[in-house]
Amino acid sequence: MGNRIAVISDIHANLEALQEVLTHIGNQSVDGVVCLGDIVGYNADPSACVNLCREWGVFCLMGNHDAAVCGKISLADFNDAALKAIQWTRIHLSKEDLLFLNRLPRFHREYDKYLLVHGSLIDPDRYIFFQEDVEKDFEEMLRTYPKNFIAFFGHTHQRKVYSYYRETVFSGMPEDFRLEPLKRYFINPGSVGQPRDHSPLASYLVFDEDERQITFHRVVYDVRKAAEKVMKAGLPRSLAERLYRGW
């Protein structure tokens, strides 16, 4: 995938956000784009987002919403709005779309460069919200992938950086930074299609392996248009409203 990649996550069928993010990425001189899962769910353009990822050659993981739409996981843990969106999405995807989603991996290791996971190394559907959540994942990294020092994860829709050094976990604000030698990292790029950090702006990051640099980006998109599509589709109003609030 090259030494300079854009990392996106949690598109959630928000075409307006995805289009603007990919346009922004097009000006960043990257070698490739990876998505940490959840192309679909919540919003009103699942098929268009799947097709755009395919057109751009985005390397995608399967998120929990993708898995649910394909019938690969139980729907018991989804709230009412998410469940309604999954059911709606199933009938608005083509057989080709579903086949594409069904074939996505749930985890990827890019040699000794980095690990990609939707939620956690322990469980792809497990959330990493707090420092105590990520401690077990650093343990798993040390035990199973000792040559890897970087993992990118999504699922929470919140930008976050965790680092590990000498048996101590640190959490930091998602600001641009250089990776330090001997430290291990878990890094969340935030969400393209449904940010949950009180900003409606789409979020992603660029990882430059040669420079050992992480650069975060926020991108303006037409929130009103995306929200109006949600309402027109008959999806829960709450899904439209949260786009404005960034939560």
Q: 39-52: per-residue pLDDT in tens?
A: 999 999 999 999 99
pLDDT band at 2 (very low <50, low <70, confident <90, very high): confident
**Domain definitions of the chain by residue range:** 4-245
Assess contact for 62 and 37: CB atoms under 8 A. yes
The DSSP bridge pattern shows strands 184-188 and 150-153 to be parallel
DSSP letter (8 states) at residue 37: S
Q: What whole-number distance in Å separates Cα of residue 39 and Cα of residue 179?
A: 28
Mean pLDDT of the chain: 97
Q: What whole-number distance in Å separates Cα of residue 15 and Cα of residue 246?
A: 16
Assess contact for 182 and 165: CB atoms under 8 A. yes
The per-residue pLDDT for 207 is 98
Backbone angles phi, psi at 82, to 5 degrees: -65, -40
Burial class (CB in 10 A: 0-12, 13-18, 19+), 47: middle
Q: What whole-number distance in Å separates Cα of residue 144 and Cα of residue 141?
A: 5
Q: What whole-number distance in Å separates Cα of residue 25 and Cα of residue 50?
A: 17
Assess contact for 115 and 150: CB atoms under 8 A. yes
Backbone angles phi, psi at 97, to 5 degrees: -60, -45
Q: What whole-number distance in Å separates Cα of residue 151 and Cα of residue 138?
A: 9
Assess contact for 21 and 50: CB atoms under 8 A. no
The per-residue pLDDT for 142 is 97
DSSP letter (8 states) at residue 28: T
The tens digit of pLDDT for each residue in 168-216 reads 999 987 789 999 999 999 999 999 999 999 999 999 999 999 999 999 9
| Residue whose entry in the numeric block shows the structure tokens 């990257």 | 30
13-38: string of b/e by CB count within 10 Å (b at 16+)? bbbbbbbbbbebbeeeebebbbbbbb
The per-residue pLDDT for 174 is 78
CATH of domain 4-245: 3.60.21.10
Tokens of 172: 């930091």
Tokens of 182: 């001997």
Q: Is residue 1 over pLDDT 90?
A: no
Q: What whole-number distance in Å separates Cα of residue 242 and Cα of residue 236?
A: 11
Distance in angstroms between the alpha carbons of the first and the last residue of the chain: 32
